Structure 1
Amino acid sequence: MITIVFYILAAITLGTGILTVISRNPIHSAVYMVICFFSIAGHFLLINAQFLAVVHVIVYAGAIMVLLLFTLMLMNLNEQHEEKKKIAGRIAAVLAACLTGFVLLASVVKASPVIEGYSAAGTDFQSVKVIGQVLLDEYLVPFEFASILLITAMIGAVMISKQSKKNAQE
């Protein structure tokens, strides 16, 4: 039964992930991304990580998607105002994507499993206390960088929106 649920969630995750990337409407992409986030939370529930599932839904499907939709609405993206991308830019994007895929594939092939040195520590790694301690001790800098990145992206969206309104008035 769990295997069937896993495959259903995996199909939903992959399908909505692909639809997020190929959708032309940014609002539809955001909705597909929310569905993808919920299915990933379902994967967390399958591995008995309830806290991570709830945090994933609250943080990603809630806060990040509201921020993304806010910036999309603020930027007012229309297809009429978009200029066509040059062929050199498209080629560069495809080349960068292929290179990134090659690096990821090479890192997966060359990776050695860590499970060999695993030993039971007797600690409950799902407790909120342990997760908070690890997050604020070992991963404090990446956590703060993520918040700065989100604030910078929102400020950038506001600045782009203000500049395009100034150009429209002139």
Structure 2
Amino acid sequence: TEPKVWKQVHSITIAFGHGVSTTPLQTAVGCAALMNGGYLIEPTFLTRTQDQAMSVAKKVVSDKTSESMRYLYALNAEKGSGRNARVPGYRVGGKTGTAEKVVNGRYSKDKNFNAFVAAFPMDDPQYIVLTIADEPKPEKPGMGATAASNAGAMAANIIRRSASMLGVKPDFSHENGATLVSYQ
């Protein structure tokens, strides 16, 4: 729900995930729009052609913004919190998210939802994978239970098993490539 009066504090808290709620499907559809050139396409279980999908699409971000987001998603999976989502031969990009669960109307400090939204192949993203772990436990004592430690690895396992079934051919030309450190 939208607050009756939008205050500056809402803009601040929404930047780190408080005060906003989306369904997993809304998250995946939003990510797809960021990856596909900026088109928000209403999801369906019915078969349709790409032309039919584009006929209902709405342009929600610019081509440049979409290109920037693809770059950042790829960089995050290569060097950032999404490193556990890497799959050799399949250029994966993505974003981690660790959200405190709401318990009795308050954000819990020890109960989280961890998520990773992945896109692949990053040269021309065709697929989105969203993984969510409800109240994950640390893998080792003393480690945190953040999305960086578990949700990305879940996405990698899904991509590793499904990519060939989806007809995505592995490409090892990006392995151990150079990283652009300045982007405008």
TM-score range, shorter chain: under 0.3
Structure number with the higher strand fraction is 2
* Structure with more relative contact order (C-alpha pairs < 8 Å, separation 6 or more): 1
Q: Which has the larger radius of gyration?
A: 1
Structure number with the higher helix fraction is 1
The TM-score with structure 1 as length reference comes to 0.26
